Structures are given as C-alpha cells and as structure tokens.
Amino acid sequence: MHQYTQFYINGQWVDPVTPRTLEVINPATEEACGVISIGSEADVDLAVAAARKAFETYGYSTRQDRIDVLASCVSVYEKRLNDVAAAISEEMGAPKKLAVEAQAMAGFGHLQEALRVLREFDFEEDLGPHRVFKEPIGVCGLITPWNWPVNQIGCKVAPALAVGCTMILKPSEVAPLSAYVWTQIMDEAGVPAGVFNLVNGDGPGVGTALSQHPDVDMMSFTGSTRAGTLVAQNAAPTVKRVAQELGGKSPNIILDDADLEAAVTRGVLHMYNNTGQSCNAPSRMLVPRAKLEQAEEIAKAVTASVVVGDPQADGTTMGPVVSELQFNKIQALIEKGIEEGAKLVAGGPGRPEGIDKGYFIRPTVFSNVNNEMTIAREEIFGPVLVMIPYDSEEEAIRIGNDTPYGLAGYVQSGDIEHARKVAARIRAGNVHINGASGGFDVPFGGFKQSGNGREWGAHGFADFLEIKAVEGYAA
C-alpha cells in the first residue's frame, strides 16, 4: 500500500494544509493499492506562490540552464522507467508490456524530444530593425487525466520546463501513483525549487482553484470536453490562456480499394489498445455496405484473439477499465446499443467468461450502426467498436465529420493518392493513413470540441510562450 499523502511544493515534500485522504483502487483487483491526500485552495495558494517566486529566476534562465535541467530529467527518468510503468499498471490496469513500451516510454519520449527541440529552438526573430521575442508565459496550471497519465504529464511538463515556465501539476485522483513517481524524478533531477510543484486533488477543489487563480498565467488541461469547458469558464475572468486536449469519436474510413483483412484487423486491435481508453481511438469504423458482412467476420475473429485478464500475467493483451464508474458507464452504453437495434457481432454486457472480479469489459463489436445511435455519438471510452455501413465515399466523409469532436481520423486505402484526398476532407487534428502513427515531434490536438492548441514536439512549445515585439531594437 503506497502512502503518498504529501504534496511537493517549493522543492519540499509537505503535508496538506487540511488533512483529507482518498484511497486509490487497483481496477484489476478492486482493492486499495494506495492512499493520497486531497488538496484544497490553501494548498494551491502555497504552490502558486512558490511557482510565482521561482519564475522570477527560472523565467530568465539561459537556454543552457534549461538544457541542463532537461538532460538531468532524462537521465533520472531512464533509471526509473520501470518504476513508472509499475505504477501505471497498478493504478489503471495497463498490461505490463503496454505499461513499459507505450505508457512509461511516452513520458521518456516527451522529455527527450523537448530537450532536442530546445537545443535549436529560435526564441528570437528579426523583422527589419525590430526584434520579436518568444518568452515563457509564466506560471502554468497543468491538469492531467488517468488514461495515459505519464504521457500527458510529459507532454505538458517537458515543454514548460524547456521554455522557462514554472508549474503546478494536478494529476487525476483516480490514477495518481505515476505522477508521484514523476515528481520524485523531478526532485532527484534537481529541478530548481518552485519550478515544478505537485498538488493532488479533485476537479471541484484543486482544479477549480488553479483555473481561477489570478497568479496562474495559463491552464493546460487534458480530459473530458465537459470538464474542459468548466476549466475555460473558471479561467475566463482572469483572461488566462487555456489549452485543451479533450474528447473524440474518431472515424476510421475503410475505402473500397483497401485491403479489407488488414484494415479491419488493424482498426479492431487499435480500438482495444489501452482497453479503448484513448481519446483518439478509432471508435467508428466506416465500411462499404457491400463488404460489411465480410468485415464483421474479420472483426469477430480478431476480437476472439484478445486476451483479457490480469495485467501482470504474461500474454495479457487487455486489462480492465480504470474504475467502477467507467465500468458501469460502459456497461450501460453496451446495453443501449442492443436496445437501439445495433447488431452485436462480438462481446456484449458483463465481464469476460471466467472473470468475476475487477473492472473487466468484454471486447465488443457492434455492426449495422447508424450515426444517430447513442453508441455512435457518445465517447464510450472503453473497448467497444461500432461498424457503420456506407453507400458512397461522399457519404463516408459526411458521416466521418458528423460529430462534435475532431481529434483524430483514420483512412485506409490501397492507393496513397486516394487516401490523401480523403484525409484532406476529414475535420480532425490528426489523420492517420493506413495505420501510420506520428512520433513525439508530430503535433497532437483537435478541431471543434476536441480542444484547442497543440502538444508534442516544437508545436507543443507555442502554448507556453508569449510574443513580445521590441520595435527599433537595432536602432
């Protein structure tokens, strides 16, 4: 049982102002695996004051100073990578292989990429006799989710450190263990006191206090669209910048000239990755109507190959969803799909056969779905794929874009030029052709209600920078 009841403020581990604790539940066992403190406005005030004071020096640090800080973070993180992975597996049920090779490695990748970008990033630009400076925005409030906990910490903290910002991190209270390990890494790496601060808590308490705080210059939030709008509303009176990475209901358009076996297989397996708990999951598979029955058979066979079970067991490919709340929500949506007349191809309600404990979901495929059904509109955030038939390419593109979200899109085709033309018409921040996936240097973010701003790589620096023009600089 992990006892993580202190916060990290001004380079020190400190007790909360008002003691209040919360158990962290292991979703595979439904048993407590840790205890954290839940912070308050008073704890936020202390952390913001520390960050504001630290910005007086770190905000004017040299590029080399920040290179040294990031290089140290990379070095310490590499030593602690397996500890990060173990925490992720315990707190949100990621299978061992996924926890190490995808989840924990993502945090490492963002630190490495921020260090690479920082070495060559142009913080100044001359326009005739005038000079434009890109300066750190100041004190940043960072709110991160439970589904890719360290990935989202890394893609916020790393660029903030790189450009000279100071920050307060509020990780998800559902999966806070890996954030604690991350904070230990920051401490061991020698990040200057007050530059990085951690306050655990919930949205109504710590999240609201951060968003409203007049000494916080920007908020970077990843989570649901509902929560993201609350952050923006709370931030509005102080006119602070708000960067948001929110929900998705991404279309996966399988064109008539695609290799159907490869495309459907790829799409189904991607949907089950991280137990479907990814905002950019290809959750709506659009298939030519004439090929729908064949696509169903492929999807059913692929689903049967998924090994659901103990995240610590060798061979497990899909763990539980993160919490009882998520389990119940997903079960209700599966029942809703059946009630609304969708064809159940695989899976369905209840836990997988032989499992009677833990928040495990049967990997599920629905077909003959239309885009007005609840399961086609709502972000299920679990291992539930919906297959939607279409009669023409124009209809596929229309259905693909018929969503309030716009985080990702997927296009499968045997002709790259064909795929490019369809990709150009998808209203989403990231479009993947034939399963391609970007590296840590490729910008990530969405259109419409999937958010604003971009994370990852050089594009991820922008939200943490202010632009200052000094006219007559060369005179």
**Residues with active-site annotation:** 245, 279
CA angle, 391 as apex, 388 and 393 as ends, to 5°?
95
φ/ψ region of 205 (left if φ > 0, alpha if ψ in -120 to 50, else beta) reads alpha
3-state secondary structure of 259: coil
CB 99 within 8 A of CB 316: no
Q: Could you give the angle at which helices 149-163 and 177-189 cross, rounded to 10 degrees?
A: 30
Distance, CA of 340 to CA of 342 (rounded, Å): 6
Distance, CA of 236 to CA of 50 (rounded, Å): 23
CB 87 within 8 A of CB 4: no
Tokens 């005030």 belong to 45
Altogether, the residues listed in the chain come to a count of: 475
Tokens 């490019």 belong to 420
Q: Which of 443, 369, 421, 396 lies closest to 155, judged by CA?
A: 443
CB 88 within 8 A of CB 149: yes
3-state secondary structure of 201: coil
Q: Which of 194, 252, 263, 163 lies closest to 8, judged by CA?
A: 194
